[in-house]
Amino acid sequence: MLSSHCSNQQQQRHVLWDIPFPRNRTYSGWQSMVNGSNKKRLTRGNLQRLRTGMNSSAAKTDGVNHVAAASRTSTTQSEATTHDDKLIQHYVPTFVMLPLGVVTAENVIVDKAKLEKQLKELKAAEIDGVMVDVWWGIIEARGPKQYDWRGYRELFLLLKKLDLKIQAIMSFHQCGGNIGDSARNKEYLSLGVDHLPLFGGRTPVQMYGDFMKSFRESMADFFESGLIIDIEVGLGPAGELRYASYPETQGWAFPGIGEFQCYDKYLAADFKEAAAKAGHPEWELPDDAGEYNSRPDQTAFFRSNNGTYLTEKGKFFLTWYSTKLLLHGDEIIDEANKAFLGCKLKLAAKVSGIHWWYNHPSHAAELTAGYYNLPDRDGYRPVARMLSRHNAILNFTCLEMRNSEQPAYAKSAPQELVQMVLSDGWKEGIEVAGENALARYDADGYNQILLNARPNGVRPAMEREKKLRMYGVTILRLTDDLMRPNNLDLFKKFIRKMHADQHYCPELSKYGHAIERLERSKPKLRTEELLEATKPSEAFPWDGETDMPVEPASVFARLLKTILSIFSD
């Protein structure tokens, strides 16, 4: 029986790519097919803080009452009523992503006692909730339409007990294909078979739809209680709307340009048909675009001077390739909208932060992934426009990265990329959220996230008509490293700054996030309407640095930091 929290409208279909499994086990179950992905930890040395006699005074000079005890209980009702009416409007809810294998292939929670202890510590740090991959390969492992939700129901009950909101990812991709994942890749499922009944009479879209319907029915009580507030719709490898163009398990290494993913018989036939309709039956798929680890100027397709990507044939191919991905995402999110129609939640989709070669004229790595983005063509605003008809959140990655941290030879520009994509979302009138691409626990990374979360700061923005603020941020991920005392102390400061120096606020409406029942998506946009959004425009301005850094602003704290840096050299 469906939850009263959701309407009784018929539930339909969902997403695509392949069957996932964590923990170094690869399951073919319905022929798992895609490169999935996750994030590699970025190791950075954390300076030891001087503790004796200094912690209390440093905390006072920071201007925020930080609570050091890990066992601190959650905010009381009286505290929840003391929010500053102006500052609370700049509150950015912050979530922590749970480990990929928090529910094992055997459908049980890994070390539940340890997990509960860690979640209590994070709750004491005043996080707003968690994000969790809901793996199709675990749930439907026993056979077609045989769903087993035991492990996830047990997990959700634990999260409900701790009063932690849930962002649930419908994870249809293979676990283990993104940068740093330990599991193995499988071949990706071509977009060309979205509607082919190749799996026991079911199409991929129908299989995902059946899964979504079962999730909604089986988790009805969690929807009704408001525990699940966000469904991120998996749309490709790593759950991202992109082609599986740079799989580490097939030999790719940063900063390789990746490879186009359209040479299977289904997409090859689709391209030939499209070329013939355009009056060029002689055109073939690119054969001059290099290999996974090529550099742009090592290829005829991406070279700076007269590359194939600048020719009529190249432009036609790239338009076809990127549009296929865009329409795929649009259709799958539409099916998700039907599946969750009437539920109190927001839909979201993730876009990958492919920042390497952004400063090369060809933007080669973006092009192979399906983002037709060039200096004179916006490859991301069409995605935002597509999401706008579903009132879906655009979730972007690499929020923590700065240009100065990237190797010069990769011609990376993560700061400009983030600024561009977030601006595109805001211009199309949708909410934008984000996450870090690589795990890190330092002030520089946190401060860059804070800057992107509120590009024009807090206090100056109070007087402005347009207040740029991200809808939410998710931190990758819950690990033993994050829970180390020094890292956890800094993380608590980060959470407080994300909350604009306010305590945790359980009332979403106080900071403008009241969630309404999901309504039907708007009518489908014509391809021409989507492509109109490719016209480039200036991004919104960003401040040089956040006005709410995690580092203490006092003279004492600056002196302490200087002393520590001297002894660490």
pLDDT by residue, tens only, the chain of 569 residues: 334 345 433 333 333 333 333 333 333 333 233 333 333 333 333 333 333 333 333 333 343 333 333 333 444 443 445 899 999 999 999 999 999 999 999 999 999 999 999 999 999 999 999 999 999 999 999 999 999 999 999 999 999 999 999 999 999 876 544 444 433 335 357 888 888 999 899 988 888 888 989 999 999 999 999 999 999 999 999 999 999 999 998 999 999 999 999 999 999 999 999 999 999 999 999 999 999 999 999 999 999 999 999 999 999 999 999 999 999 999 999 999 999 999 999 999 999 999 999 999 999 999 999 999 999 999 999 999 999 999 999 999 999 999 999 999 999 999 999 999 999 999 999 999 999 999 999 999 999 999 999 999 997 545 555 689 999 999 999 999 999 999 999 999 999 999 999 999 999 999 999 999 999 999 999 999 999 999 999 999 999 999 999 985 455 555 655 565 565 44
14 is in an annotated binding site: no
Q: Known binder of ligand: residue 477?
A: yes
The answer to whether the CB of 228 falls within 8 A of the CB of 222 is yes
Query: To which H or E segment does residue 69 belong?
Result: none
CA-to-CA dists, residue 524 to 189, 331, 388, angstroms: 25, 9, 11
- Burial per residue of 226-258, b for 16 or more beta-carbon CB atoms within 10 angstroms, e otherwise: ebbbbbbbbbbbbbbbbbbbbbbbeebeebbbb
Report the pLDDT value the prediction gives residue 23, as an integer from 0 to 100.
Answer: 35
Residue among 126, 140, 259, 435 flagged as catalytic: 435
pLDDT at 555: 53
520-530 burial code (b ≥16 CB/10 A, e <16): ebeeebeeeeb
- Whether 405 is catalytic: no
Assign residue 154 a region: left if phi > 0, alpha if psi is -120 to 50, beta otherwise?
alpha
What is the per-residue pLDDT for 564? 55
pLDDT value at residue 174 = 66
Nearest to 96 by CA among 165, 183, 180: 165
Cα gap 21→381, rounded to integer Å = 33
The answer to whether the bond into 93 is cis (omega within 30° of 0) is no
| The residue to which tokens 């865009």 are assigned | 326
Determine whether the annotation assigns residue 8 to a binding site.
Answer: no
397 is in an annotated binding site: yes
Give catalytic status of residue 435 as yes or no: yes
What one-character-per-residue DSSP string does 235-291 give?
Answer: -SGGGBSS-----GGGT--TT--------SHHHHHHHHHHHHHTT-TT----S-S--
Among candidate residues 121, 140, 240, 248, the one labeled active-site is: 240
173 known member of a binding site:
yes
Query: Does the global pTM surpass 0.75?
Result: yes
355 marked among binding-site residues: yes
436 assigned ligand-binding residue: yes
pLDDT of residue 551: 83
Check whether 133 is labelled as a binding-site residue: yes
> What is the chain's alpha carbon radius of gyration, rounded to the nearest angstrom?
23
Q: What is the pLDDT of residue 25?
A: 34
Nearest Cα neighbor of 58 from 441, 565, 561 is 561
